[in-house]
């Protein structure tokens, strides 16, 4: 289970509206001071995401919750995002190569054209399936941590 801290923004009728800070993978290694990627990541502001989650206990604005999401959701999402467009590209390019050869036309041009179309179609299918997967993926509250201490 992947875990993250969330801040409660609002609570109504068993649903907590939470905000999660989206973090970059940078600043987690020893080379972050000398890394160009870390410098670029620091230049952009921190982004947040808000969503509602069912809560068994009443929450107050400012409460901190530890929420979790199953790893299988992340793995399936990554597979969709990376593999479906590639699969569409390669399959359509093979069909274009074959079609170009059968028609005695330029098979490389057909492969490139069909590959581009197949990649876009693969991306569109992945986007639709990702939305369906997102609706099924429900984060859960693992722990109620209370209010943040004043600084």
Bridge partners of 21, per DSSP, are 48
pLDDT at residue number 146: 81
pLDDT digits (tens, 9 = 90+) for 12-46: 888 999 998 876 666 556 665 667 666 666 666 56
Number of domains in the chain: 1
pTM given for the model: 0.62
User: What whole-number distance in Å separates Cα of residue 132 and Cα of residue 111?
Assistant: 31
Spatial strand order in the sheet of 63-69: 47-54, 15-22, 2-12, 63-69, 140-147
Domain extent at residue 48: 2-147
Low-confidence ranges of the chain (pLDDT < 50): none
Confidence at residue 91, expressed as pLDDT on a 0 to 100 scale: 97
pLDDT at residue 103, as a whole number: 93
Backbone angles phi, psi at 28, to 5 degrees: -115, 10
């Amino acid at each position: 289970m992947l875990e993250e801290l969330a801040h409660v923004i609002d609570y109504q009728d068993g649903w907590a509206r939470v905000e999660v800070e989206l973090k970059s993978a940078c600043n987690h290694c020893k080379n972050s001071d000398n890394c160009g990627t870390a410098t670029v990541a620091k230049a952009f502001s921190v982004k947040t995401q808000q969503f509602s989650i069912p809560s068994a206990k009443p929450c107050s604005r400012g409460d901190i919750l530890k929420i979790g999401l199953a790893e299988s959701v992340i793995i399936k999402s990554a597979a969709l995002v990376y593999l479906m467009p590639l699969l569409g590209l390669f399959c359509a390019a093979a069909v274009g190569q074959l079609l170009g050869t059968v028609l005695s036309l330029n098979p490389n041009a057909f492969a490139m054209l069909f590959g581009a179309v197949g990649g876009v179609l693969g991306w569109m299918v992945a986007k639709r399936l990702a939305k369906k997967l997102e609706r099924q993926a429900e984060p859960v509250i693992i722990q109620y941590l209370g209010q943040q201490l004043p600084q």
